[in-house]
Amino acid sequence: MLVAAAVCPCPPLLVPEVAAGAAPELDTARTAASDALAVAAAARADLLVVVGPAGDTAPGPYPAGSAGTFRGFGVPVDVALPGPKAPTAGPAAGPALPVSLAVAAWLLDRVGWAGPAPTALAVADGLATEACLEAGRELAAAAPRVALLVMGDGSACRTLKAPGYLDERAAGFDAAAAGALAAADPSALAALDPALARELSAAGRAPWQVLAGAGQGAGLAGRLLYDEAPYGVGYLVGTWS
């Protein structure tokens, strides 16, 4: 049963070494993410699952200890999910974490996560809503007390300088997602339009709908800790508990 969730954005710029001189611009988002993880930790879950968009990486599960890196962004920063370290070379080495899950691993390390060693699930950006909901229901049934760390960004079309340029629909899409997260409303999250999310480059849609499936019937309360669009991309931090 789902007992808590932390919802965080997943831009590599959350990692100060990647952001370099612009790092202070996301200090408030980093603090909010740490606060959200504190709520998840306080739930004393038996299982923590990190859910994030797969991006260019093949979707699928990742065990505790799986490693990722930000070397592709020009910085020598390597991370791993808490738990037994995965092999780093040779035929037994597992696939590297996609960027969204690598950011999650960095956040967990930043707060000194001391709860259960997390596993992770990368979901395809185009995964259908019902498949997302079913995945969430399966995660919620995996242990008596389940917590999720849900990684995902809102639209990338909030301003003229945004990665996806300005789209007048972007603010409304992000507001609907923010309202659903703040209210811990699985039905409202499930109602987000996958086609519109794709047009707005909103990579959080599928992970948020996995959360919607996990939260069905859980009766949790929501709180929104951060709702901004630096660089023209919607970043949301929230908690369900």
pLDDT digits (tens, 9 = 90+) for 64-95: 999 999 999 999 999 999 987 654 433 345 78
2-15 tens-digit pLDDT: 999 999 999 999 99
What pLDDT was estimated at residue 22? 86
CATH code of residue 173: 3.40.830.10
The residue segments making up the domain with residue 50 are 2-240
Query: Euclidean distance between the first and final Cα of the chain, in Å?
Result: 12
13-71 tens-digit pLDDT: 999 999 998 889 999 999 999 999 999 999 999 999 999 999 888 899 999 999 999 99
What pLDDT was estimated at residue 89? 38
Residue 28 φ/ψ, nearest 5 degrees = -65, -40
Give the whole-angstrom CA distance, residue 114 versus residue 78: 20
Token pair belonging to 221: 């309360």
What pLDDT was estimated at residue 85? 63
Residue 235 φ/ψ, nearest 5 degrees = -115, 130
The total of structural domains in the chain comes to 1
Query: How many CA atoms are closer than 13 Å to the CA of 165, on its beta-carbon side?
Result: 1
Give the whole-angstrom CA distance, residue 213 versus residue 137: 5
Token pair belonging to 179: 């309202």
190-231 tens-digit pLDDT: 999 999 999 999 999 999 999 999 999 999 999 999 999 999
Strand 2-8 to 146-151 pairing: parallel
- Predicted model pTM: 0.95
What pLDDT was estimated at residue 84? 74
What pLDDT was estimated at residue 223? 98
Residue type for 118, please? P
135-148 tens-digit pLDDT: 999 999 999 999 99
Residue 38 φ/ψ, nearest 5 degrees = -65, -35
How sure is the predictor about 174, in pLDDT bands with cuts at 50, 70 and 90? very high
The answer for residues whose C-beta is within 8 angstroms of residue 170's C-beta and 6 or more apart is 154, 155, 156, 157, 158, 162, 164, 200, 234
What pLDDT was estimated at residue 58? 82
Token pair belonging to 86: 């995965």
What pLDDT was estimated at residue 200? 98
| Contact in structure between 97 and 78 (CB atoms under 8 Å) | no
| R_g (Cα) of the chain, nearest Å | 16
153 pLDDT exceeds 90?
Answer: yes
Angle between helices 99-110 and 27-42 (to 10 degrees): 70
Q: Can you list the positions of beta strands (E) in the chain?
A: 2-8, 47-53, 60-62, 67-69, 78-80, 119-123, 146-151, 222-228, 235-240
State the average pLDDT over residues 86-106. 75
